[in-house]
A and B are shown apart, each in its own frame.
Chain A
């Protein structure tokens, strides 16, 4: 797969504050890429530079093979963005919003109508296309937001904390829609989120802190590198757990051991196979990865 986003040595400062410091990463075409960091880590600055609304102090940003310094119009056409807060005109209908958005990309008339029909079928919003946005439910609005971002057929969909503040049902609807788009249109999704379980489904994760990359890799690589494995054994008591000479904690119906890695889990099982009649081995969570590399906890309260 080719690199659809290439960022090399990106630098941006606001006065004395270094928002982004020598940031370099690549995103492959069709990938679900998670870009994580606490408030003020430099995520929004990086996205604004990619979108062409903020100038960088140094470095190179190449979107779909085009340097943003050379042809920002082309790179703008390659990107669609869904923000945390909906920027749809609430008094207007979904159709009016989409017509206006399409016109900003020079898409008019029949071409625009066809694209709106296409999107309404894919995202399933035919029923409320002529309803004012202010009268839509949270899930319906999110669908309209995604349609707005996709109206010009971008190759990259940037989701800037798209599910923050949404109820679980709406989050499920939204992720269903995005998964469908990735499968049908091979779309690259660039995601920032505060929900670690969403990042766990990514193909590649970059974690930034203080404008620098502190960790990157696939979720499994990061879990292996920064957290241990959990071995949960059901049907044994603490007396039996002590026989294994490993740190443990009690859970409902059994005990859980934290081991260094999967090899250590295997060794533990092999050492006392009679105790392992009902058990499971699970990787550490992305929350633990994040906490381990940044020393900070990522919460939904943060806005950056």
Chain B
């Protein structure tokens, strides 16, 4: 156990001591927040206004801003929980490139201890950065329109933890097969450019075609985004209902911004979203354990 803890400490220290890696990971979500707020907030605002206009509703500016803020926050967190974990988990590959990994395997330490130490240290580093991103997003939402309850905040924290665990498990399985700097860069670029689209963070799945939407519904990251959407926008939705917006209109709005997801026409409940996310994490961790065992046997 002590060996495991010291390895986790070593990995975490190396991540935070690598200024380039740490600041790039930290600054990416903050830059995304600024870009979202600068370029997308008006687009979202106009889109919401047109929805309310179609119902002849006069919505308070603060509620409108709360909607925009909630959507920005959930999109940002959905993306950065996964992309930052790929960035943090680079150490696993860098150790292979530098020979540090082979050197560690000369000692009697178990491969599983090393593999699990990478997993936990990546989770810790990613969580620290994502909690900073969450705090920055909450400050932004607080400034423009806060409708989050205490429970919403707790659930958002839980969502971030779940998504970071998911992102770390996914990056552990993928990074296991990488062994060069070029491969790290390629995977990093692909993940950061594509993940936001396929998890419904950049564009609501509602705006995609039927076929594409059906395919994306098989990807577990989608449900993580939906969880964040539900908890970041739950308070605003309640406020809309109290301000006289018909329930059908609120449901329509929830559908359009992926608070509600439909799997072949059947609405996916929030508890099912949790179940899918947790099951996926369990599946990915099992895969990570199996590939470690399988590759060990292969070398023997």
Contacts and interface: CB of A to CB of B under 8 A. Distances in A.
A141 B5 CA distance: 26
Contact of A52 (B18, B103, B106): B106
Interface residues of B, number: 23
A73 interface: yes
A108 B102 CA distance: 22
Contacts of A76: 106-108
A104 B14 contact: no
B42 interface: no
B88 to A, nearest CB: 15
A115 B227 CA distance: 51
B100 A87 contact: yes
A79 B299 contact: no
Given A100-B7, A103-B6, A53 B105 contact: yes
Given A51-B106, A55-B299, A83 B14 contact: no
Contact of A89 (B3, B10, B106): B10
Secondary structure of the B side of the interface? helix
Contacts of B7: 100, 103-104
Contacts of A83: 99, 103
Interface residues of A, number: 28
Contacts of A87: 98-100, 103
Contacts of B108: 72-73, 76-77, 104-106
22 contacts: A51-B106, A53-B102, A53-B106, A55-B300, A73-B108, A76-B108, A77-B108, A83-B99, A83-B103, A87-B98, A87-B100, A89-B10, A91-B13, A91-B14, A92-B10, A92-B13, A92-B17, A101-B107, A103-B3, A103-B7, A105-B109, A106-B3
Interface in B100-144: 100, 102-109
Contacts of B9: 100
Given A92-B13, A104-B7, A106-B3, 17 more contacts: A53-B102, A73-B108, A76-B108, A81-B106, A83-B99, A87-B99, A87-B100, A89-B100, A91-B14, A92-B10, A92-B17, A100-B6, A100-B7, A100-B9, A103-B6, A104-B109, A152-B107
A120 B35 CA distance: 52
A206 to B, nearest CB: 22
Given A55-B300, A76-B107, A89 B99 contact: no
A55 B14 CA distance: 31
Interface of A: 51-55, 72-73, 76-77, 79, 81, 83, 85, 87, 89, 91-92, 96, 99-101, 103-106, 108-109, 152
Contacts of A79: 106
Interface in B1-23: 2-3, 6-7, 9-10, 13-14, 17-18
Contacts of A105: 107-109
Closest 9 CB pairs of A and B: A91-B17, A103-B6, A104-B107, A73-B108, A87-B103, A104-B109, A100-B10, A103-B3, A51-B106
Nearest to A101: B107
Nearest to B10: A100
A166 B2 CA distance: 36
Contacts of B105: 53
Contacts of A100: 6-7, 9-10
Contacts of A109: 2
Nearest to B17: A91
Contacts of A103: 2-3, 6-7
Contacts of A55: 299-300
Contacts of A81: 103, 106
Contacts of B10: 89, 92, 96, 100
A54 to B, nearest CB: 7
A73 B107 CA distance: 8
Contacts of A99: 6
A76 B109 CA distance: 10
B181 to A, nearest CB: 16
Nearest to B106: A51
Nearest to B4: A103
Contacts of A53: 102, 105-106, 299
A109 B98 CA distance: 28
Contacts of B103: 81, 83, 87
A91 B109 CA distance: 22
Nearest to B105: A53
Contact of B99 (A72, A85, A106): A85
Contacts of B17: 91-92
Contact of B14 (A54, A73, A89, A108): A89
B105 to A, nearest CB: 5
A189 B62 CA distance: 75
